Structure 1
Amino acid sequence: WRIMPNASKINSLLQLGKFDTLYMNNQPSTNVEGYLAARSLDVAVVQHCRIDPVLEPRLVSMVNQDCQAIIAVSQGVNNTL
């Protein structure tokens, strides 16, 4: 009920601003809207992961498909990713 409308709004903002990068902070599960928003655009997605992420198979697939770079705040977070 909220993900697709938010993704659409983010997609519009990315297009209007002619942005080439979408930087997202926190963990992938809280940034699904951003992944979906950038999917159809020529926009690099950067995920800055600050906490040990909760990952499910569908989310792992989305990150692997749509994320160009991941920044991990620690080696522990990096190991989880």
Structure 2
Amino acid sequence: MDWLFLNFFAGAKVDNPVAVDAGPLGGQMRCGTSTVNGGVICHWEDAGTFGTVIAGGVTDVRQAGDLALKFRNTAEH
């Protein structure tokens, strides 16, 4: 994990974010559970974009990753 991800998740108080499918647009996406409120936060980055999804009411990291990927695909098209 590169320093941008490390810094983002450290600031968001997320321990042990896991890699999830970044989809056809590439780059990388990781999701993890916040130690502050228990919410799942997903963050993606590629050569030209980055974004964050806070999946309210979702506690499963993989489910949050699916939600974040749908959001990303919609937002970038």
Rg larger in 1 or in 2?
1
Compare relative contact order (CA 8 Å, sep 6+) and give the higher one, 1 or 2: 1
- TM-score of the superposition, structure 2-length normalised? 0.29
- TM-score of the superposition, structure 1-length normalised? 0.28
Higher relative strand content: 2
Higher relative helix content: 1
